[in-house]
Amino acid sequence: MPQACVIGLGRSGIAAARVLHRDGWEVTVFDQADNEQLRAMGQPLIQEGISLNLGDRLEPTTTTWPERMVVSPGVPWDIPLLVAARAKGVEVIGELELAWQYLHAVPWLGITGTNGKTTTTSLVHAIFQKAGLKAPACGNIGHAACELVLQNQNYDWIVAEISSYQIESSPTLAPQIGLWTTFTPDHLNRHKTLDNYFNIKASLLSRSTIQVLNGDDPHLYGHGPGLYPQAHWISTQGANHLAGLCEPKQGVYLQDNWVNAFGELIAPINLFKMPGQHNQQNLLMAIAAARLAGIDKKAITETLLTFTGVAHRLEPICTVNGVQFINDSKATNYDAAEVGLSSMKGPTILIAGGEAKEGDDQAWLAQIQKKAVAVLLIGDAAPSFAARLKAVGYGNYEIVETMANAVQRGLELASKNNASAVLLSPACASFDQYNSFEERGEDFRACCLGLVS
């Protein structure tokens, strides 16, 4: 029986292990952590005949290598174990690549980018559903891709949100339509240089039959035309902005308050409920994908009228004493947090901090000076963020350490400063205090709802 190991006991790792086991592989799942939650997650696998090895750091000194290793997205692609495995001829792939090997006969729509992926993916998924297509969302959103393999159904499309980590470990994944939403510095602790990060993203688009890119993104605007001469582009800035990128009939853009897709008027943009230019860009990307997939205007317009957003991305939680509390926990870097703050209509109390990332904080700091009447700092980054704010002459900040303190203090400061909103938009990863940005957002939600109970 051929041997395989899966690295990482998360949702994707569990699904990958089951796919391999179903097809006759002897499977062991490894995770360097060991706790009661992981043991409970792994128990069903053991009952199915899959081995579980928790608390093993997997040093690259093993004498017996499996034929295949499947890596969960959170595992760095260049750790010594994987480098050694590849040198020994082991097939090392990501969970998404494993799913692609089974589902490549179905057209995939792959969505990548630094920011905007989740909202764009959710919009595409909603439009395809409205059109009556069986088009599940997977990857960084919805299902683990291998769960779709296990369901053994006939899909019309697979809509995949694909991170740079997943692209890196999926060398043959080739979408029918590839979307690139934005590009700004992120994940540099993993990818080392901006060029590496860009080239990983670019490789997915290069393998896509049809490309759609965001013409409002400065980096893509400057680099994309040379890479993808036949690409379709979107812009909120009108047909003239697309002139150097593609013919207007090859693009999707806003003109005189209307969405124009490939030369056809779709709907007035003011029917769209979500605030901010960035969300208009996400919508145009989704409309481009839908029209290229042959979906009619009716399904697009109906989705445009009803779609209100995704959890943890500028998500309204509640209003207390006239102050709105908004969850933007998904803003895990400076650019996403700058976009979140810029979308606020009035004076805002900002909650920021967590596990800091590398990146350029200038635009974020400028937006704080413009919009935030106070900043409440949590997590490991609080002291360094306080120093950055002080360095640019912004003094109305406090280190409050925890989410509960931040929410309570936010309500107090909002009433004192006539602020209309308290916004959690951390500009940081969550792993100093939480297991994920979702868990952080749920803690914010619970703290906010505690104010009204």
Instruction: Find, among 77, 59, 75, the residue nearest to 10 by Cα.
Output: 75
Q: How many CB atoms lie within 10 A of CB 281?
A: 25
Torsions phi, psi for 384 (to 5 deg): -70, -35
Query: Measured between alpha carbons, how far is 393 from 389 in angstroms, rounded to an integer?
Result: 6
402 is in an annotated binding site: no
308 is in an annotated binding site: no
Query: Measured between alpha carbons, how far is 419 from 225 in angstroms, rounded to an integer?
Result: 43
Overall size of the chain counted in residues: 453
Looking at residue 352, its amino acid is: A
61 is in an annotated binding site: no
63 is in an annotated binding site: no
117 is in an annotated binding site: yes
The token pair at 443 is 């803690």
279 is in an annotated binding site: no
118 is in an annotated binding site: yes
Torsions phi, psi for 375 (to 5 deg): -125, 130
Distances (CA, A) of 272 to 141, 155, 281, 286: 22, 28, 12, 13
Q: State whether the Cα torsion 363-367-370-375 is positive or negative.
A: negative
Contacts of 143 (CB under 8 A, 6+ apart): 136, 137
Annotated binding site for ATP: 113-119
Annotated binding site: 113-119
